[in-house]
A and B are shown apart, each in its own frame.
Chain A
Amino acid sequence: MSNNYFNTLPLREQLEQLAKCRFMHMNEFTEGVDALKGKKMVIIGCGAQGLNQGLNLRDSGLDVSYTLRQAAIDEKRQSYKNAADNGFTVGTYEELIPTADIVLNLTPDKQHTPVVTAVMPLMKQGACLSYSHGFNIVEEGMQIREDLTVIMVAPKCPGSEVRAEYVRGFGVPTLIAVHEDNDPQGHGLALAKAYAVGTGGHKAGVLMSSFIAEVKSDLMGEQTILCGMLQTGSLLCFDKMIDKGMDAGYASKLIQFGWETITEALKYGGVTNMLDRLSNPAKIKAFDLSEELKVIMRPLYNKHQDDIINGTFSSTMMADWANDDVNLLGWRAETGETAFEKTPAGDMEISEQEYFDHGILMVAMVKAGVELAFETMTAAGIIADSAYYESLHETPLIANTIARKKLYEMNATISDTAEYGCYLYNHACLPLLGDFMKNIDTDVIGRGLSSDDNGVDNARLIEINAALRSHPVEAIGATLRGHMADMKKIV
């Protein structure tokens, strides 16, 4: 079984690696793709990330081809068609890997160990191996040949977005890192930067991080606020509305599209703006609920972060991998059977504002989840920038997949690690919130506050507004959103 790399490091280095994350300046990319010009880039895997990154890199003037397993080529599987129909050279590991200057491993986490084990002996001396997620290195302790450079380039968006934004002349925010144990020629950063330019990421903002910070923050964010909280919240809110006799179609629609609508406000102006969209009495209500939720859920967030940091989470999940994903697939099937999942959204109109007014509890859950994830990550030594991206910044992306596909498909779409962690969270959080939910009524989920009580206490409102605005996730959020806005669309 594997060796957890992180656990082999002394605490001093663990903390140093966790704290790595820096928003890079545009003028650090003036070399463009030069470091990769004329180099042979071979991508392993031709799914959504693999194909779309390859299309971008080729359109940036780089030499890209794909390597697939012999069986995938012989059977003309979808991955083969993806590559061949787009005019790429496709070959086996044996044919292409020995020619590669840089090998881009864009397969799912679960396949990393067998894939890397297969290609490493074929790689030429001094070549570069690139990951888009650090799990294999950090959690599985994969040892890479000493002469090889190991980097990570991780666009923080689904593959289709990576392509769509490039074609528009922009890009998606991208995280890069160099595995310091494997940078024999000292050019890892130059290669990672050129790769980020090749996919268009530099136009949208690049974060310089470490393998460890990426893994530990990514796992924490995805299993708590991003997927876990939204899944648990969906199930609890739906069942509550049905229990209170509300129309099932309405309840289903309010939840399916509600997360996306309220987190859109989050994306633009943080937790503060999301709560500012509520009436004053509703804002106070949401604030109080979220404070209550944070007290109840904090031990759960701590447990997730602790299990991630000490490797318990990854070893549990890898045991399930070794056991043919019995847990994962069983939990996925359970999700498909929930009442929310099986109730189609009604065809009634729900206005944008109504999603806020009737979803006060959902707003409270997002606020509690974002703040808890952020607080827990930073308490564990992860720098605020990373914690912001892996909590608040990505929540709207997951909310968007729920709006499009609900929970079952959301889980099937996200990575295996995210999905596994999401189920762990959900199973623990549902019972944890049992008593809390007993006191919940349709005024905070489904119907909204009655309109005749719009008065609030001035002192209380001032207190809450101040508390919202002074949370550390809001401070770093304002800074980073400012950076992004400088680079992003002038809209």
Chain B
Amino acid sequence: MTIQLTDLHVEFDQGFQLKHINWQVEKQQHWLITGANGAGKSALAAVLAGYGDIQSGSTGGLPSPIGWVSFEAQAELIDAELKKDDADITDVISLGTPVREIIFTSEIDAAIAQDLITKFELDYLLNRAFRKLSTGESRKVMIIRALSCKAELLILDEPFDGLDSSTHAMLQTHLSGLAQHTPIVMVLNRFDEIPDFVSHVAYMENGELRHQVERNDEAAYAELYQLLHLKTTQLQIPPADTDTDIPALNPQQPLVKLTNICVKYTDMVLINNLDWTIEANQHWQLSGPNGSGKTAILSLITGDHPQCYTNDIFVFGFQRGNGESIWQIKQFIGYVSTALQWEYRVGTSLRNVIISGFYDSIGLYSKSTDRQKQIADQWLTLLGMQDRADYPFNKLSYGDQRLLLIARAMVKHPPLLILDEPCLGLDDINRQLVLALIEKICEANETSVIYVNHHAQDRIAGIDNYLALEKSADNS
């Protein structure tokens, strides 16, 4: 048996859609479907159970019978029971179907069911009406039904939800036995509950099947874990450090005002006559081909370009070239770019890399406070790296380094956050991690973001100002 979903579009009652589903489940495989809330995990599982309105594409090899545990299936059963009650228009109080009848139907292997009833310690409930059960109890009944129906495929959508720990452990063990001969597809929100027998992971996002990872591909699995962590945790951006206050800015003034900017070298002109004003709380996307001067403009703002002294630049209350130091400018800015990552070749710890954001330094050269360490640890937790706080930065994967540098840029809650192609060189999963983090930052709305990118698909929710540069005519 191979289940085959090919370019499938499915619509569900509430208008939810699954799109572009291409998926193949082999007989020997056990899948985990995961993703954030609302990503379409349960919907994909339900498709295997024959639910949903197929708009286009095809399904093949769907087995029968299927053992299905899910909130939807549970709700359906309870609903049916309630309808029976409604249908009883006599003045007799319906007792409802007893649990025994719900479980022991003709499709059920009675011996297995009885075994499970004992294991779940449900004997005392067999004569009670199903609709009188608590949610946890009815969930157990659902599970017993599904596991004893001689299924060709088991679909277990959050089967552990609401189970106490001993029952949870019992079920895990039981499933490991079943997995010897029955393929299992599980839906779980939490990676730490994944049974050992799961061999593949499917990651859903916005109704699409975004990633399919083999369990034994450790690197990809770890990234997926991190992505899920970021997507499913209620992201709380850690607080700023009250001891390293950024001076208050005059809200009447723009953050940045560039007037008639020209960047030229003895033999060429890179930028000619550019004006750009960034007001507080504006988010900008800056784009343009290679060599159009994107990075030059940003480094005029950050003070890293020597010609910031020969141009009309107003930043954070300073008209440049009047005795201010670049550290007075940089305190207002968080900055991430590929170049920064190249320059950040420091053997210092992950925690120190984040703390260095308070000092705008590459490496840490100042004694940090306990509060700064605490904040850094909160960021590490947010990134799912809390176990590696003392790990050397330069031993980190490329994607993790980038995430850490974004945290470094954000740690002081700067009025302006500059993200110069933050996704460049990252694989798809890491790109989504980065974008998820940036969206959280934009939502918080205390920081203006300048986002530079090439990939149009990397649009970020919340950015609504655009500056597109062209190659200067003199620069060819």
Contact = CB atoms under 8 A, between A and B. Distances in A.
A487 B265 CA distance: 38
Interface string A466-491: 00000000000000000000011111
A169 B325 contact: no
Q: At the interface, is chain A mostly helix, strand, loop or mixed?
A: loop
B265 to A, nearest CB: 5
A169 B266 contact: no
B309 interface: yes
A324 interface: no
B266 A491 contact: no
B362 interface: yes
Contacts of B367: 490
B323 A38 contact: yes
A79 interface: no
Contacts of B304: 167
Contacts of B362: 167-169
B347 A61 contact: no
Given A81-B266, A86-B306, A490-B352, A168 B361 contact: yes
B189 interface: no
B265 A488 contact: no
B266 A489 contact: no
B115 to A, nearest CB: 60
A87 interface: yes
B363 A491 contact: yes
B266 A170 contact: no
A151 interface: no
Contact of A37 (B303, B323, B328): B323
A327 interface: no
A491 B347 contact: yes
B361 A169 contact: yes
B323 A87 contact: no
Contacts of B360: 169
A85 B363 contact: no
Given A61-B323, A490-B352, A170 B361 contact: yes
Nearest to A38: B323
A61 B330 CA distance: 13
Given A59-B326, A491-B348, A85 B303 contact: no
Given A87-B306, A87-B310, A490-B348, A60 B325 contact: yes
B387 interface: no
Interface residues of A, number: 27
Contact of A84 (B266, B325, B326): B266
A193 to B, nearest CB: 16
Contacts of B352: 490
Interface in A212-234: none
B225 interface: no
A167 B330 CA distance: 11
A218 B314 CA distance: 45
B373 to A, nearest CB: 12
Contacts of A58: 309
Nearest to A169: B361
A62 B324 CA distance: 8
A490 B303 contact: no
Contacts of B324: 61
A490 B365 contact: yes
Contacts of A60: 325-326
Nearest to A37: B323
B178 to A, nearest CB: 52
Interface in B327-377: 327-328, 343, 346-348, 352, 356, 359-365, 367-368
B307 interface: yes
Contacts of A303: none
A76 interface: yes
A357 B362 CA distance: 35
A168 B310 contact: no
A253 interface: no
A55 B304 CA distance: 10
Nearest to A63: B323
Contacts of B325: 33, 59-61
A79 to B, nearest CB: 13
Contacts of B363: 168-170, 489, 491
A170 B367 CA distance: 13
Most chain A beta carbons < 10 A, residue from B307, B361, B365: B365
Interface in A160-194: 167-170
A203 interface: yes
Contacts of B361: 168-170
A61 B324 CA distance: 5
A167 to B, nearest CB: 8
Interface string A87-101: 110000000000000
A422 B360 CA distance: 41
Contacts of A488: 365
A30 B325 CA distance: 16
Nearest to A76: B266
B266 A85 contact: yes
Nearest to B359: A169
A489 B306 contact: no
A170 B328 CA distance: 15
Nearest to B343: A168
A169 B323 contact: no
B364 A489 contact: yes
Contacts of A59: 303, 325-326
A55 B306 contact: yes
Nearest to A489: B363
Contacts of A167: 304, 362
A371 B88 CA distance: 105
Contact of B365 (A61, A84, A203): A203
B158 to A, nearest CB: 45
Nearest to B329: A59
A489 B353 CA distance: 11
Contacts of A203: 365
Nearest to B365: A170
A62 B304 CA distance: 16
A430 B202 CA distance: 71
A203 B364 CA distance: 11
Most chain B beta carbons < 10 A, residue from A81, A87, A488: A87
Contacts of A33: 325
Interface in A104-126: none
A49 B352 CA distance: 31
A119 B321 CA distance: 27
B348 A489 contact: yes
Contacts of A169: 327, 356, 359-363, 365
A33 B325 CA distance: 10
Most chain B beta carbons < 10 A, residue from A55, A58, A76: A58
Interface in B388-417: none
A167 B335 CA distance: 14
A489 B344 CA distance: 13
Contacts of A84: 266
B153 to A, nearest CB: 54
Most chain A beta carbons < 10 A, residue from B309, B324, B359: B309
Contacts of B365: 169-170, 203, 487-490
A76 B266 CA distance: 10
Contacts of B368: 490
B336 to A, nearest CB: 16
Given A84-B266, A87-B309, A489 B346 contact: yes
Nearest to B305: A87
A61 B304 CA distance: 13
Interface of B: 265-266, 303-304, 306-310, 323-328, 343, 346-348, 352, 356, 359-365, 367-368
The 7 A-B pairs of least Cβ separation, nearest first, read: A169-B361, A86-B306, A168-B362, A87-B310, A61-B325, A59-B326, A87-B307
Given A81-B266, A87-B308, 20 more contacts: A33-B325, A37-B323, A55-B306, A58-B309, A59-B325, A61-B325, A61-B328, A84-B266, A87-B306, A87-B310, A88-B306, A167-B362, A168-B343, A203-B365, A487-B365, A489-B348, A490-B348, A490-B364, A490-B365, A491-B347
7 contacts: A55-B306, A86-B306, A86-B307, A87-B306, A168-B361, A169-B362, A489-B365
